Amino acid sequence: MVDSLTQFLDALPSDQHAVDYGTTRLTAGDLAQASRRVAAGLRQLGLQPGDRIALWLPNIPAWLECFFACARLGAIAVSVNTRFRSHEVEDILGRAGCRALVLWPGFKAIDFRGILDAVPASALAALEHVIVYTETPDEAPFTLPGKTITPYAAVRAAAEDRAEPAPATARCVIFTTSGTTKAPKFVCHAQAGVVRHARDVAVGFGLAVPGSRVLQALPLCGVFGFTQALGALAGAAPMRMLSLFDATEAARVMHDEHVTHANGGDDMLDRLLAARPEAHPFPALKFFGYAKFNPALDDLVTRAEARGVTACGLYGMSEVHALYALQPRELPAEERAKGGGELISPDAAVRICDPDTGRELPAGEHGEIELKGPSLLLEYFGDAEATRAAFRDGWFRTGDLGYLEGPRRFCYVTRIGDVLRLGGFLTSPQEIEAVLETHPAVQGAQVVGGTLGHEPVAVAFVVAESGQDLDEGALRDWCKARLAGYKVPRRFVRIDAFPTTPSANGTKIQRAKLRAMAAELLATA
């Protein structure tokens, strides 16, 4: 079945319990009606199919309403993390050419106006409309010079949209991802792939089993939380939505409200377990699907099992959606602790290839994970060359190292490149380096990962401009003003020159040596 997102939402039973947010209870019918109204309100603002509309929102029902409204209209929802700051917002709004931005200025005391004021006008040239969400009448009014400000309530109050909705082939969402370039790639998906994967996840994760209930604390702005939410809708599993993850509150909700399904990073599960002292803190939980981000938590599956929680490694990425593979629940703990897993979609496929030659490798041999399936990205938006380079013979090249354990099961080992996992997010070191190199006292920067205690962190090695002093506090403040907090390096180390080695392709920086230096530095911190 090939459906558009509008067909998907409209086909759900109107009385299906969909979302609990605070004291608000929404059905699938409520979401469908709200999306029709928001779509009409967007049309009245002059927004059209193909326009990019940035959603700079936390986990709130309005995120889903706007997403489905964009899909009905044929516009592309551009996900923006509320933790992003001026450098990231400038890049996303500018390169995507967003015509509209939806934000909640009163959320978590974030200075949204100050962040936007620090964005050059050129990056906001395409932006015409700022749609302002509020939850209380006393929230301060929001302004942005040269832009039309419209309350979200006014957009949502429009008469229901009755125009022909966009087809299943239409682009619907862009997620930013990191890689080996300074600027994140824009992963763009078509509606049909989103719908199909949501239905596969509902079956593969057991969300369609009556009585299922999902903790929706993962951010909707990321593919992890987005995929879980769409799967919950497809499976008729009500979502208990939290605007942000707080371990104490999330653990209380999981216990008191009988949550049966939750997914997240290994650090998230670790914090949930720490938040409840009981021997068996989450008796209704069937399993916790977790992504391996933190190497210091290798014993997590065993510790969780001792407290009645079955943790299962999983796999996903923006290009193929999250929840793409899951380690089977019946496997022993040492097997469930692996990343990767069994493919969720019956039409998905995996192979392992030599990253240089493309030769397909047998089970057990390490190589690049390559994937096929209905959930693959449509394109890297605005980058045809990157899109072509990402595929080999119709297979998507993940850039991940792994090996096969069976025809439909694989193990993820690590990234082939140097991408970091910080704060649960895939982060490009080149992006952090680019920000540091805009500092007038910095000639060059190299950022590598390390572990401080149990936390993955970044360490920046910097070379100063001739005659310049480098102050660690000033560099930290420079990064804090331009990057999400989790991307800010934990240490800034002045170095006279980067260690290098000659090769056939030119002189290369010895990042392995920098990682060793960072590990030694952090060990004595």
Q: What's the pLDDT tens digit per position in 295-316?
A: 678 899 999 999 999 999 999 9
What confidence tier does 180 reach under pLDDT thresholds 50, 70, 90? Answer: very low
CATH architecture of 420-523: 2-Layer Sandwich (3.30)
- At 312, give phi and psi (nearest 5°): -130, 125
DSSP label at residue 123: G
- At 156, give phi and psi (nearest 5°): -75, -15
What confidence tier does 507 reach under pLDDT thresholds 50, 70, 90? Answer: low
Whose tokens are 């209704």? That residue is 284
CATH architecture of 5-189: 3-Layer(aba) Sandwich (3.40)
Helix (H, G, I), strand (E, B) or coil at 446: strand
Q: What does pTM read for this prediction?
A: 0.89
pLDDT at 320: 98
Q: Contact 41/67 with Cβ under 8 angstroms?
A: no
H-type alpha helices, 236-346: 247-256, 266-275, 300-306, 333-336
What is the C-alpha to C-alpha distance for residues 284 and 255, in angstroms, rounded to an integer?
8
pLDDT of residue 34 exceeding 60: yes
pLDDT of residue 506 exceeding 60: no
Amino acid identity of residue 277, one-letter, is P
- 245-415 homologous superfamily: ANL, N-terminal domain (3.40.50.12780)
- At 132, give phi and psi (nearest 5°): -105, 115
The secondary element (H helix, E strand) that includes residue 63 is helix 61-73
The secondary element (H helix, E strand) that includes residue 156 is helix 152-156
Most confident of 52-61, 415-424, 494-503: 52-61
For residue range 207-241, list pLDDT tens digits in order: 999 999 999 999 999 999 999 999 999 999 999 99
pLDDT at 181: 52
Q: Contact 215/253 with Cβ under 8 angstroms?
A: yes
Share of the chain above pLDDT 70, in %: 97
pLDDT of residue 503 exceeding 50: no
Q: Give the Å distances, CA to CA, from 252 to 232, 236, 242, 246, 405.
A: 20, 23, 12, 10, 37
Domains 5-189 and 245-415 share a fold: yes
Q: Phi-psi category of 95—alpha, beta or left, where left has phi over 0 and alpha has psi -120 to 50?
A: alpha
For the four alpha carbons of 518, 512, 411 and 324, in that order, the dihedral sign comes to positive
What are the residues whose beta carbons fall under 8 Å from the beta carbon of 37, sequence distance 6 or more?
69, 155, 156, 157, 158, 159, 160, 161
CA 457 to chain centre: 18
What is the C-alpha to C-alpha distance for residues 277 and 274, in angstroms, rounded to an integer?
7
Print the SS3 string covering 484-514: CHHHCCCEEEECCCCCEECCCCCCEECHHHH
Question: What does pLDDT average to over the chain?
Answer: 94
Domain boundaries of the chain, sorted by first residue: 5-189, 245-415, 420-523
Of 353-357, 382-386, 391-395, 489-493, give the lowest mean pLDDT range.
Answer: 353-357
Amino acid identity of residue 118, one-letter, is A
Cβ density class 257-286: b for 16+ within 10 Å, e for less: eebbbbbbbbbbbbbbbebbeeeebbeebb
Side-chain half-sphere exposure of 206, counting CA atoms within 13 A: 15
What is the C-alpha to C-alpha distance for residues 392 and 359, in angstroms, rounded to an integer?
11
Of 105-109, 134-138, 207-211, 354-358, give the lowest mean pLDDT range.
Answer: 354-358
Q: Contact 237/261 with Cβ under 8 angstroms?
A: yes
What is the C-alpha to C-alpha distance for residues 509 and 455, in angstroms, rounded to an integer?
25
Amino acid identity of residue 209, one-letter, is V
DSSP label at residue 392: E
Q: Phi-psi category of 463—alpha, beta or left, where left has phi over 0 and alpha has psi -120 to 50?
A: beta
Q: Contact 184/91 with Cβ under 8 angstroms?
A: yes
